[in-house]
Structure 1
Amino acid sequence: MLPNQHISNMKSVLEQAAKGRRNEKAFEWAWQNPNLSRRLKDSLPIRKSRETSFDYRLRVLALMLCSGPWNRLGLTIQWIKQSYARNLSENLVPPLHMPIAFGPIDSNCSENPSTKVASFGLCQICNIPFSVDSSVPLTCPSSCPLGQWHLLCLANYMTQAETVPDRLEISYLIPLSASCPACLNAELLWPSLIKSWKMKTIASEHSCSSTSLSTAH
């Protein structure tokens, strides 16, 4: 049986993943039904004469990407066909943490399974050790020696760091950005951290599976 701390960490990871899926579905629904969305219906742009449905939908999308709560999501704007690409800056500029990409989506895009996973030690926020069977740490993009944390620990740290000092009632469920609590130099972007964490988790699981197969034989 896993220790209580390990079980708690696993539950936190599952809760974060569930929140992400709900946010994605809510975003898609609002874009498809902007007139029914309580966040959009009062600020929807008026469709211009001779404006195609495609271009109007893009203007609605640009509005959504710059409006809360969607402007905090870890989204990538990907133009699969270059011929359909539009200059979104003509309308509203997407947040800096949302990259713009071109070309088909590679469903197999992931780190090589042999990628070295960060060494397990102590979470530098709660000082509780990691365990291979519990969770892979989130790590500082600058690879600073003390930059590794539990997912929930760093999420709580980043949301607290984003709270406006003179308005404590403002709090976010999804973190976005903060300085690394270890080196104070690197800028942590939650979408990028989660993407890297997912790939390291896959690498760790692949490594464990390979070890199990080798032991069995």
Structure 2
Amino acid sequence: MSADTIENFYGVYLLYCLNIKYKGRTYIGYTVDPNRRIKQHNKGKQFGGAWKTSNKGPWSMVLIIHGFPNDISALRFEWAWQHPHVSRRLKHVSKKKKTEKTFDFCIRVLSEMLQVGPWCRLPLCIRWLNQDFITDFPVCSLPPLHMPICNGSVVSKKVTKPTLTDNKSNIIQTCDVCGEKIITQAIKCVNYNCDLTAHLLCLSNSFLKPGEYIPIEGRCLKCENIYLWGDYVRKYKGCYNNMNLSISIQDANELYMSDSE
């Protein structure tokens, strides 16, 4: 199975120790490059790995949550997953039982995290990297429907080519949503084979559903494929700076910053 390539990757992962002496131990971390990060963990602290995992390998990166709009959002998710009983959003999560395996506890905490705000509104993807560890989430706390659960390796890719309309260009484009000329910021479909071009606000409003602060997903008017709005966020970094989606400053901070207070 070929690896999925994702641009502007921000992920929070779960490691499982395969060393017989330390087998069963787990580690939660953040990375922008999962393949490089697991190598660092297994090589040791002197090669960039964490001191908690150093000289205890081999470790397997069994699960990673990705789709965060930025590094701060991912880092705060990491902190809350590491410290569920300190995070004010997870006070309802019961402590680890004596008979409960650490790995199972991590999955239980994760399932609860994905049910509460602000994380339940993010376009996250739950990806199993090691199929031997695939575990069903509790029926009472399944991930939201807009969060896909998949398996297989992933490769992070930095965006190198420009993606926004060049405002200095003499080429005048037309919005495929409203039909008006685009003279400011424009956005294109995340599918490189699709030629849809639209105003940022027009496309976001076409994706927006009742009760949502920001879009979660929507269907492209041209290629008719359904895409997560988070894919556009990662492709067009900073595109929310000029958006007006009737979202308050407090809601925006909650959504993107998560909580470590």
Match of 2:182 among 129, 149, 156: 129
Q: Tell me by how many angstroms 1:91 deviates.
A: 5.3
1:22 aligns with 2:62: no
Q: Which residue of 1 aligns with 2:28?
A: none
Q: 2:104 is aligned with what amino acid?
A: D
Q: Which residue of 1 aligns with 2:154?
A: 105
Match of 1:175 among 190, 215, 221: 215
SS of 2:182's equivalent in the other structure is: coil
Q: Tell me by how many angstroms 1:70 deviates.
A: 0.6
Q: Tell me by how many angstroms 1:50 deviates.
A: 1.1
Match of 1:75 among 124, 130, 146: 124
Q: CA–CA distance in 2 between the matches of 1:20 and 1:103?
A: 23
Q: 2:229 is aligned with what amino acid?
A: W
1:40 aligns with 2:71: no
**2:111–2:141 Cα contact (<8 Å) kept:** yes
**2:172–2:181 Cα contact (<8 Å) kept:** no
Q: Tell me by how many angstroms 1:194 deviates.
A: 4.5
Q: CA–CA distance in 2 between the matches of 1:22 and 1:152?
A: 24
Q: 2:125 is aligned with what amino acid?
A: T
* Structure 1 or 2: more helix by fraction: 1
Q: Which residue of 1 aligns with 2:65?
A: none
**1:78–1:101 Cα contact (<8 Å) kept:** yes
Q: 1:30 is aligned with what amino acid?
A: A
Q: CA–CA distance in 2 between the matches of 1:82 and 1:33?
A: 26
1:31 aligns with 2:71: no
Per the normalisation by structure 1, the TM-score is: 0.55
Q: 2:86 is aligned with what amino acid?
A: L
**1:62–1:93 Cα contact (<8 Å) kept:** yes
SS of 1:22's equivalent in the other structure is: helix
Q: 2:102 is aligned with what amino acid?
A: S
Q: Compared with structure 1, are the counterparts of its residues 101 and 139 closer, same or farther at alpha carbon in structure 2 (3 Å cutoff)?
A: closer
Per the normalisation by structure 2, the TM-score is: 0.47
Q: Compared with structure 1, are the counterparts of its residues 46 and 33 closer, same or farther at alpha carbon in structure 2 (3 Å cutoff)?
A: closer
Higher relative contact order (CA 8 A, sep 6+): 2
- Alignment coverage as a number of residue pairs: 158
Q: 2:210 is aligned with what amino acid?
A: E
Q: Tell me by how many angstroms 1:175 deviates.
A: 2.1
SS of 2:112's equivalent in the other structure is: helix
**1:179–1:186 Cα contact (<8 Å) kept:** yes
Q: Which residue of 2 aligns with 1:85?
A: 134
Q: Which residue of 2 aligns with 1:57?
A: 106
Q: 1:65 is aligned with what amino acid?
A: L
Q: Compared with structure 1, are the counterparts of its residues 193 and 71 closer, same or farther at alpha carbon in structure 2 (3 Å cutoff)?
A: same
In structure 1, list runs of 5 or more residues that go unmatched.
Answer: 1-17, 114-118, 164-170, 199-217
Q: Which residue of 1 aligns with 2:230?
A: 191
SS of 1:162's equivalent in the other structure is: coil
Q: Compared with structure 1, are the counterparts of its residues 29 and 153 closer, same or farther at alpha carbon in structure 2 (3 Å cutoff)?
A: farther
| Percent identity (aligned) | 33
SS of 1:30's equivalent in the other structure is: helix
Q: Compared with structure 1, are the counterparts of its residues 85 and 186 closer, same or farther at alpha carbon in structure 2 (3 Å cutoff)?
A: closer
